[in-house]
Structure 1
Amino acid sequence: LTDCERKYQEHPQMRYAQPEEIANLAFYLLGLKSEWISGRVLAMDKGFSTNHPYVKTL
């Protein structure tokens, strides 16, 4: 397996995010409802980092 195929199989949802899903977060962050969010890294990985603790330290 290639590295990309292996990572895909390790992902809890067995799929990658679609551009529309990434855009939803971007639109939320641009809106007024996100005014209290600052200085954070939001992991939009659909659970990948919960299975890979080393990702949390990056």
Structure 2
Amino acid sequence: MADEITLMAIKVAGGPAALAKELGIKTPSVYSWRQVPPKRVQAVSKLTGIPPEKLRPDLYEVAA
């Protein structure tokens, strides 16, 4: 199951199918996410308005 912020990003994007379409990937790929994959963080951030450091705090520093 996806973490809370990933679920929020999917919801903000309009659901798994809508997010997958915007990213040019297949819907089952989005369903398999536990976290937003590192190579998708910037695109998901741009689509949803959720900052990268919130999507993947393990990969991005929080702005001071």
TM-score, length of structure 2 as denominator length: 0.29
Report 1 or 2 for greater relative contact order, CA contacts < 8 Å, sequence distance ≥ 6: 1
TM-score, length of structure 1 as denominator length: 0.31
